Structure 1
């Protein structure tokens, strides 16, 4: 019973994050075939997020509020998402071309 509730909560959380969080919306648009060309430039956005995270830790060390850890984790998570998407955006078109070649070979073998 508890596992079922946790499962449903995680599904609803995932749907909410995919629908309303700007970085997830942007990454969904970048995962489309026309958007894949922006994968490497999107890594620059990841570096900007990591700069924000580093700034937060520096401010915390200099006596600012510990609540900045929330901004730190937010910026770190978003930065890593964009940094990992850059190389992945190079893999996705190659995978699509391989699948297309397999379909083409399968169609020509049937004829």
Structure 2
């Protein structure tokens, strides 16, 4: 039974990561080229919060109860976008530090090679 639940959760996660628009967008933001779009993507939380508010008002006015599921979905997606902004800034900072260290290491190696060449020519 546990194996069946595990397999179902893995397949559900795969489906959601592959076909749901918000997950696709968040995966694109997590790439090196997309990290700069993390903070502007936080603005996408506003339409999700607006949709949740509209659904909540409809439910209060007597709409069907299944709209509560949409409210949860909208709030979850808004939360994902709100969290992705600061996370992308941290990831971008980490990548920039790593790239800077790599450039410094390459520059030091090339300087060492040049000085070794000059010593070989001068000797």
Q: Tell me if both proteins adopt one fold, taking TM over 0.5 as the criterion.
A: yes
Q: Within 1, Cα distance between the matches of 2:72 and 2:97?
A: 37
Deviation at 1:22, TM superposition (A): 0.8
Question: Judging changes above 3 Å, is the alpha-carbon distance between structure 1 residues 8 and 48 closer, same or farther for their aligned structure 2 residues?
Answer: same
The structure whose Rg is larger is 2
Report the equivalent of 1:19.
18
Structure 1 stretches of 4+ moved >3 Å: 97-108
TM-score (norm 1): 0.83
* 1:66-105 matched pairs, under 5 angstroms: 66-100=65-99
- For this pair of structures, how many residues does the alignment match? 109
Residue-by-residue CA offset, 1:29-66 (whole Å, 9 max, x unaligned):
11111111111111111121011111111111111221
Q: Is the 8 A contact 1:47 1:83 kept in 2?
A: no
| Structure 1 unaligned blocks of 5 or more | none
| Structure 2 unaligned blocks of 5 or more | 113-123
Pair 1:29 & 2:24 matched: no
Deviation at 1:98, TM superposition (A): 3.9
